[in-house]
Amino acid sequence: MGVRGARAWHHGPVPIVVAALLLFHRVVPNAGLLENFLPWLGLTIPFLLARAWFRSLRALITALLPLVVWFGVFGERVLPAPDHPHQLVAVQHNVSDENPDPAGTVRTLLESRPDFIGLEEVTPEALPAYRAAFGAGYPYFGVRGTVALWSRHPLVEARLLDIRPDSLGSDWNRGLRAVAETPFGEIAVYVVHLPSVRPDPVGLSPVRLNPVALDSARRDDSARKLTAALDAEPRDRVLLLGDLNSTVDDRVLAPVLSRVRTAASGFAFSWPARMPLARVDHVMAGGMTVTEVRTLPRTGSDHLPVEARLRLQAP
């Protein structure tokens, strides 16, 4: 490529490609990794603008395109959450099966006295410590497999939610569905933990070396079963708490987001806890509005807790 060709590349195609990825990421095959870190494409924009500044007005105008698109896609998340009234508070946290301090973790989760707390990776060995830490203030709880729900409101139902991928055995249980009786009527509460996305051994083989090859088949299978459960849910008000191992920009969650929604404002990155880059922990709702989502201080987990406020009207 000659000098003119290199300059043309920097002036035109790169900003256009960045803008196109932001707008049309769901038509790009196998773009799960890109979608889960999509907001971070914005880090390329200052570099593009700096290069264009010293070149030409045309290059600068072209470099502004991804900036405009980024704010069009994510601008609402940058804005502070509106100060809407709310009636309920819910907390979601993957506590980690290696958490050395369950009691300290619970103290952090209870600072705002939430109505519901959904936990994942609660091991049988750690369960007594969590039960003791929640104490009499949260007398209602349900545990299925490694997911758990604590509630200030009575739970009239609590059962296993089958979101197990077909390729896993019957000892894999990461779904719970309960029904809570609140002053605003009954709410179906789901606590789920979708499978992790792992490196694809086929894609990483010497024959097909792909450094970003990922295997999401189990997560996607579990997400489809979660969607089917939400479709079959008879109650109008639904609260979903979970580590979904994907962000709201990941196409795999599109069917879930057609049934339940989360707050429009705020990124609330929850993973990894040391340097959060993506929100894979979610509070979503149907028949009510999630007005705000924020992260809580770090616990003994590799995830940050996520707290959400919910607005609804009494029946």
Range of the domain at 23: 3-78
Coil, strand or helix at 221: helix
Spatial neighbors of 27 by CB under 8 A, at least 6 apart, are: none
Does residue 16 sit in the same domain as residue 62? yes
Q: Which DSSP letter does residue 200 get?
A: -
Does residue 40 sit in the same domain as residue 148? no
Closest-CA residue to 78 (of 297, 264, 304) = 264
Report residue 310: phi and psi, to 5°.
Answer: -120, 135
Confidence at residue 203, expressed as pLDDT on a 0 to 100 scale: 45
Query: Mean pLDDT, consecutive 10-residue segments, the chain of 315 residues?
Result: 46 83 85 86 91 85 92 88 87 98 98 97 98 97 98 96 94 97 97 88 46 77 98 97 96 96 93 97 97 97 98 70
Confidence at residue 96, expressed as pLDDT on a 0 to 100 scale: 98
Does residue 175 sit in the same domain as residue 216? yes
Confidence at residue 201, expressed as pLDDT on a 0 to 100 scale: 55
> What CATH number corresponds to the domain at position 156?
3.60.10.10
Does residue 16 sit in the same domain as residue 112? no
Confidence at residue 209, expressed as pLDDT on a 0 to 100 scale: 42
Confidence at residue 207, expressed as pLDDT on a 0 to 100 scale: 45
83 domain-assigned: no
Helix (H) or strand (E) holding 155: strand 155-160
